[in-house]
Amino acid sequence: MSKPINVGLIGCGFMGRTHSNAYRKVYNFFRPELKPVLKAICDTNADKARTFADTWGYESVETDWKKLLERKDIDLIDICTPNNTHREIAIAAAKAGKLIICEKPLAMNTAEGEEMVAAVEKAGVPNLVSFNYRRVPAVTLAKQLIDEGRLGRIFHYRAVFLQDWTISTDLPQGGDALWRLDAKVAGSGVTGDLLAHCIDTALWLNGGISTVTAMTETFIKERKHNLTGKIEKVSIDDACAFLARFKNGSLATFESTRYARGHKALYTFEINGEKASIAWDLHDLHRLSYFDHGDDSIVRGWRSIHVTDGDMPYMGKWWVPGLQIGYEHSFVHQVADFLEAAAKGQSAAPTFRDALETQKVCDAVLASARSGAWVDIA
């Protein structure tokens, strides 16, 4: 028998849609013991919230997240708001005893993240930060192959996340769709938005990072601000590249930019080990490239694994072998895993504490870009 779990989701943007879609699909495919009920959507813009409620099937609308947290009929708070609001909402939600899913990055900086970790751990509430790419089946399979020791000792980790949507000098900053360009709201640019994904995956697949050295650039120095109407300084990093040393001795390069003309969301990583290598590409997300040096030399080569068979991560819950799934399913998997853990009173990874490690690396990267020095991860 399933038990209802009432969801109150805050934020009607892109991430609000991905999470709402996941709550709607998860029971159909995963049948978790806790069955999500879309109880309330919250957004400061009432019209937007009403339309969102109608589109996704939320039972009620709130315009003040504090009222949402006061409601006894809400069990789970899902934070899909801009980064500068995560801290206050998450701490209040923890105090109210709610289960919490929070969009990435965890916080504006490490200090905020530490307060959030302390709050959820003190309250003992199940929590998760939405680094969804871990749950693309091909990426989860990469984790399985590494954990099985198939790569042996890891020498190299290489990741990029490339976009091109901010190249125009006419693009304003700030406000609804463009808060990611406003450092006061986003905390940072590509480092917190895109490299945070790469770092989360890397920490999960390859263990801790010990030290980094970075460079950042802001190519367009001033943009009109949507909220003030004035030309204002741009304080985010438009591009960031960094070198890292992992605790396991491997070397890494990470690069992200919103100025790579032609690339919309090219997240790729490659890992080179003593015995084998793996590579993954978000544009072809259902495939995992794998090279096994143990193969007979006459058939040795990169193979492209079509990650659709029922014995591959998550795939047994979907269609039949050979039929692939996509981006939105990573959010369904995330909710499925969270609900399974929450039914036992537990969190699912990456927890707030796990995401704090990513936040620390992001902060070290930005500090290194400012100083030009190598910065150790605390």
Residue type, 8: G
Cα–Cα distance measured from residue 202 to residue 199, given in angstroms and rounded to the nearest whole number: 5
Could you tell me the smallest distance in angstroms from the CB atom of residue 363 to ligand SOE? 18
Our CB check for ligand SOE shows the closer of 11 and 32 to be 11
Could you tell me the smallest distance in angstroms from the CB atom of residue 72 to ligand SOE? 32
Cα–Cα distance measured from residue 308 to residue 104, given in angstroms and rounded to the nearest whole number: 27
Our CB check for ligand SOE shows the closer of 81 and 163 to be 163
Q: In which element (H, E) is residue 155 found?
A: strand 154-162
Closest CA to 101 of 22, 44, 191, 203: 22
Could you tell me the smallest distance in angstroms from the CB atom of residue 180 to ligand SOE? 6
Our CB check for ligand SOE shows the closer of 46 and 265 to be 265
Could you tell me the smallest distance in angstroms from the CB atom of residue 62 to ligand SOE? 24
Our CB check for ligand SOE shows the closer of 220 and 343 to be 220
Cα–Cα distance measured from residue 2 to residue 17, given in angstroms and rounded to the nearest whole number: 24
Ranges within 241-260 binding ligand SOE (CB under 6 A) = none
Cα–Cα distance measured from residue 192 to residue 194, given in angstroms and rounded to the nearest whole number: 6
The DSSP output letter for 313 is T
Our CB check for ligand SOE shows the closer of 231 and 265 to be 265
Single residue of 111, 265, 323, 367 touching ligand SOE by CB under 6 A: 265
Our CB check for ligand SOE shows the closer of 302 and 327 to be 327
**Alpha helix positions (H), 148-257:** 183-186, 190, 196-206
Our CB check for ligand SOE shows the closer of 123 and 349 to be 349
Residue type, 114: E
Could you tell me the smallest distance in angstroms from the CB atom of residue 196 to ligand SOE? 8
Who's near 170: CB < 8 A, 6+ residues apart? none
Could you tell me the smallest distance in angstroms from the CB atom of residue 299 to ligand SOE? 36
Under a CB-based contact definition with an 8 Å cutoff, are residues 7 and 75 in contact? yes
Chain length of the chain: 378
Q: Could you say whether residue 177 binds ligand SOE (CB under 6 A)? A: no
Could you tell me the smallest distance in angstroms from the CB atom of residue 9 to ligand SOE? 17
Size of the site for ligand SOE (CB under 6 A): 5
Could you tell me the smallest distance in angstroms from the CB atom of residue 179 to ligand SOE? 10
Q: Could you say whether residue 193 binds ligand SOE (CB under 6 A)? A: yes
Ranges within 194-233 binding ligand SOE (CB under 6 A) = 197
Is the sign of the CA dihedral 77, 82, 86, 88 positive or negative? negative
Our CB check for ligand SOE shows the closer of 131 and 352 to be 131
Residue nearest to ligand SOE as judged by C-beta position: 193
Our CB check for ligand SOE shows the closer of 265 and 367 to be 265
Could you tell me the smallest distance in angstroms from the CB atom of residue 142 to ligand SOE? 18
What pairing do the DSSP bridges indicate for beta strands 34-42 and 3-10? parallel
Residue 200: phi, psi to the nearest 5? -60, -50
Our CB check for ligand SOE shows the closer of 38 and 190 to be 190
Closest CA to 106 of 123, 90, 122: 90
Cα–Cα distance measured from residue 152 to residue 274, given in angstroms and rounded to the nearest whole number: 5
The DSSP output letter for 191 is I
Which token pair is 302? 């990169």
Ranges within 67-106 binding ligand SOE (CB under 6 A) = none
Could you tell me the smallest distance in angstroms from the CB atom of residue 344 to ligand SOE? 28
Per-position x/- string for 127-166, each x denoting binding to ligand SOE as judged by CB under 6 A, each - no binding = ------------------------------------x---
Q: Could you say whether residue 238 binds ligand SOE (CB under 6 A)? A: no
Cα–Cα distance measured from residue 12 to residue 41, given in angstroms and rounded to the nearest whole number: 8
Angle at 104 between CA 101 and CA 109, to 5 degrees: 115
Q: Which residues bind ligand SOE (CB under 6 A)?
A: 14, 163, 193, 197, 265
